[in-house]
Structure 1
C-alpha cells in the first residue's frame, strides 16, 4: 500500500513538473506579446536566458543552499556545499517516497521562473549580456537566501534546521507568495529604478500581439495548477483543494480587474482580463491550502482589483516597470499573503484559523514581518547588484539600439518576416527601417 501511494505521489509531482515547465515559454509569450514589435524577441530571450542561467547555477549547489541544513542553525541560508553537482541524487532512496532528484528538479523550476519574472520590468533597455550576469548573481545572493527562509522546514529526524520565516517566525506561505512573487516584484522595482526609464517614457509602444498575450497567459494558468498543486507534495486531498482554490481565484481575478477597468476607463480590455487572472493566481499562491473556495474567490477578486489600480502607480511615481511586474507580482503577493491572516480557516488542509474565524492577531503580525523582511532584503541587495554591474560592465543598451529596438542589433532577427515581394525579386527589411518610433500609446491610467 505504501509503495502504491509513493508511486502515485511521484507520478503527480512528475505531472506537476511538466506543467510548471510549460510556464517558461508561457511567460515568454505573455511578456513578448505585450511589447512593441521591435523588442519582442529580446524579451523572449531574456526569459529563456534568465531561466537557463538559473538552471545551471541550481544544479551546482541550489538544493543545498535552499533546502539544506541551515548554516550555523541561524535560518538564513542552507549549506550550499551539501551536495555540489547533485551526484548523490543518482542513488535511489531505500526508504522510497518521492525521489530527491524530482524534488530538486521541481524547485529548479521555481528558481528559474522567479528570475524570469523580473525580466518584464527591464524590457526595451537592458543589455542582454548584463541580464544574464545579473540573473546568476541575483539567484545566489537574493533568491537562495529568501527561498531558504520560506521553503526549508526543520527536520527533527534528520537533525536539520530550516529557514527562519517558516520555522522561528511561523509565517504561512504555501507555494511562494513571498519567496517567488514578492521577491521577484521587489527586485523588478529595484532594477527598474537602477536602470532608469525607457526613452520617451511614459509614451510606450503598444502591445504588438494581444493574442500572444492571451496564449501566454493561458499557458501560465495551466502551469499554475502544477505550481500550486505540486506544492501539496503528492496526490492527496490537499492537492485537490489547492487546485480548486487556484481555479476559483483565477476567474475571480479576471472579473475583478475588468470591473475596475470598466468603472475607471469605461471599457474592459483583453489585456486587463489576462492580467487580472495572473494577479489572482499570484495572490492565491501563498494561500491555496489555507482558505475555502469562497476565500479563494475573495483573494482573487481583491488581487485583480488592487493590481489594476497599482498599474497607474508607475506613471504617478515615475518608475518604469515595463510590463507591470510590480503591480501584478508584488501587489498580488502582498494581497494573498496578507488576506490569509484574515480568511484562513481550520477547515482547509493547513488547519489554521485567521482573524475572521477566531484566530489571533499574531497571525497577521507574522505575515507582515515576513513580507517586510523579504521586501527590505530583496530591494537593497538587488539595487546594489544592479549598480555594481553598471559600474563594471554597463547594464543599459546604447541610445541608438534603444531607439531602433533591441531585436535586430542584439539578436540579428525580427519577430516576424516582413519581406516585400516584387516580380522575381525579394527585398528584405533593413535594421534602419526600425529606427523610427511607431505604434506608441500614451497611458491613460
Structure 2
C-alpha cells in the first residue's frame, strides 16, 4: 500500500511507515494512492462473511503484502475481540447502530486496538515508542487501554481540563504504569495544536520515537471502515436499498472511514455530518468559507472541536471520486435541541446519550420516506451518566470496569497550554 502526503504529493510511504510516523512533512495527513474497489458480486460475497473474516479481507485490500495474511488475521482477531456493532430499531425507518460494546464503551476501541497491534508488529527491535495523542473524551480511554502495559510503549494523552465527563476522565487517567495523562487548561483544539507542534520538533521525534493515535493515524482510520460493512450486513435487503447514515462528527475520522467504505463500493446512498455548536464544517458546506470559531463547551463534549483534523481527507476523497460536496448532508444542533432529542428517544423506548442524539435529530429531519436511516451510537450512555440521568430522570448502572475506575485517584499533570512543559514531560 502506498500513501501520499496531502501537503506534498511527492512524499510517498508504505502503510507501515505511515503508521510509524503518523504525519508527513508540514504535518500533512497520509492518504492512499490506490483506492480499492469491490464489484457488486464481491460486495454480496463479503456481506455473507462474519465480521472478523470480512474485516481481514477489507484491511488486506489496503495493506497488501506488507503484513502476511496469517499475521493480519491474528491482529484483527485480537483487536476486535469484543462484541461488534448492534442495530437497535428506534422508529419504522430509523435504527441506531451501536458501536460502543468494546472495553472502553466507545467506537474508538476498534481503531485504537487495531493500531496497537500494528505498532507491536512494527516494534520488533523493542525500541521505545511514545504514543502522543489528544482527546476530547473517548479517544484517550480507547488508546490508553489498547496500549496499557505494552512493552516499550509509552502513552501520553492530552485533554482539556474540565471539559470531558468525570467518568471519561476516570477511565484513562487512573491507570498509571506506561500511561501519562496531562490536563490542559484550554480547549481540545489547543491540545491538538500541542500534539501537532510536538510532531514538528525533530529532537522530540528522534529521542522519543514519537507517534500519534489520533484518527490522523491511518491504521485507526482503516480499522473503522470495517464496521460500516458490518452495519450494512446486519440490516435487511430492503433497508439497504436507500441507506442514509448520520454520524456525530468531531475530528471527522468516522465520516472519513464511512466515505472510504462507500468508495470501495458499499452501496450507502448518503451520509449526514452531524455536529454540535462547533459547526465549522456545516458553515463551510453552506457558505464555502472555512472560518473556525473558538471552541464551545457542550454536553456532547467529544465533538467540541472547531478545527477537525480529518476534513482534508474528506475533501480529497470527494475530489478523487469526483463526488460533489453538496451531496453530503450536514447540520448542527444546540444543547437545548440535543436535550429535547434525548427526551424524544426515551419516549420511544431508547436511552441514548448526547452525541447520538445530535446525529438522530439531523437524520430524522433529513431522511425521506423511501429511505432507511442509521445514526451511529458512538459511546455508551453511562459515559455521560450525570448528564443523561439529569435530563432523562433515569438511573444508569455502571459496568464493572467503570465501577473500578470510578474509585481510583486521577493521576494527571495539570498545566497551561505551554509546549515547553509538554516537551519536558515527553523527554523525562
Same fold, judged at TM 0.5 (above): no
TM-score (norm 2): 0.32
- More helix as a share of residues: 1
- More strand as a share of residues: 2
TM-score (norm 1): 0.31
Q: Which structure's CA Rg is the greater one?
A: 1
